[in-house]
Amino acid sequence: MPEVSIPSSSVVALHRGTTAHPVRNPGLPFDASWLDGLRVNQSAVERRTATLATRRTVKKDAQAAWLLKAVSCIDLTTLNGDDTEGRVRRLCAKARQPVRADLLDALGVAPHELTTGAVCVYHRFVAAAVDALAGSGIPVAAVSTGFPAGLIPHPLKLKEIEASVADGAREIDIVVTREYVLTGNWQALYDEVRDFRAACGPAHLKAILATGDIRTLSNVARASMVCMMAGADFIKTSTGKEGVNATLDVSLVMVRMIREYLERTGILIGFKPAGGVSNAKTALSYQILMKEELGRPWLEPELFRFGASSLLADIERQLEHHVSGRYSAFHRHPVA
């Protein structure tokens, strides 16, 4: 499949080591006609995703390069009930140097050339993460709006967003109200996300669809389009807390909605699979999906992120195997 034509005015500084983003998605007035005819052929989706890993092989030095790129796209995340400031600061140290220096040296990469895409935490730890990452250029992403269920009152959701932005978060991962999707109340979903977009101010808005909860691929397609119409800069599969999180099937549907939005508006929207992406082989499948469906710019952290933590340890193991020919134990690659 040919790559999507990218309007030059929509892209800034898409190269390794930058935290620049494409231009903000200003959103559009709600237009229900955009949702007309949005139907998904599940069998066709499954056939397409089943062949992703077999259509392209990435081996040896090329695989190492793809995995290093995957590291730069990780939102290194801790969202546990027992999080502490100490754990968050250790995570930030890992984000600054995500791969051991000896492995980077063997691969010909200077340690300062590689960081993760962001660090993602609860609001409680935003200020600590911002302090720990000072001078690194790594943005802090805050989960917000009553994450993960999103069932707190709407005014409190807006206050939480505003508080995280005030503490220095440059990205806000919001959760949508699943009821609006399940009942087809698209205007309410649009209004909600539009309010979130306004509360974010300069911070980028990443809309979590909780695809494991909204049940059908057609719902995924429509919710994706509504969130982008409302001004989301990224659309994200999952909170990581649902029974089913990121899958290639829902990801294919979402990235095709991104492609359609691009064709209609000229605006680039990012994509973030989260939950269940825990090993290098799976990460490569998602990278291939992005390359084949959207093109080269969607392999960069400005437009693509993994919501993950354990993924980094497995990528480090694979890189050590590439360098030494031996697999090492997970405990030799601590995340935090």
The predicted-structure confidence for 194-248, as pLDDT tens digits, reads as follows 999 999 999 999 999 999 999 999 999 999 999 999 999 999 999 999 999 999 9
User: Has 191 been annotated as catalytic?
Assistant: no
SS3 236: strand
60 noted as active-site residue:
no
pLDDT band per the 50, 70, 90 thresholds, residue 55? confident
Please give the structure tokens belonging to residue 234.
Answer: 């990224």
Q: Which of 157, 272, 291, 314 is catalytic?
A: 272
Q: How far is CA 240 from CA 102, 119, 258, 295, 314, in A?
A: 32, 15, 21, 26, 18
Q: Please tell me which residue in 94, 157, 167, 173 is annotated as part of the active site.
A: 173
Active site residue 195: no
Reported as a pLDDT band with limits 50, 70 and 90, residue 336 is low
E runs forming strands in 55-168: 74-77, 118-122, 140-143
Q: What is the pLDDT of residues 122-164, one digit of tens each?
A: 999 999 999 999 999 999 999 999 999 999 999 999 999 999 9
The full set of domain ranges for the chain reads 30-324
Q: Which of 236, 249, 291, 314 is catalytic?
A: 236
What average pLDDT does this structure show over 249-253? Answer: 98
* Model pTM score: 0.92
The string of pLDDT tens digits covering residues 6-28 is: 333 333 333 333 445 678 999 99
- CATH of 30-324, picked from 3.30.1490.190, 3.20.20.70, 3.40.640.10, 3.40.50.2300, is 3.20.20.70
Percent of the chain scoring above 70 in pLDDT: 93
Helices (H) then strands (E): counts for the chain: 14, 8
Neighbours of 134 (CB within 10 A): 11
Q: Are 304 and 272 in contact (CB under 8 A)?
A: yes
Mean pLDDT of 86-103: 96
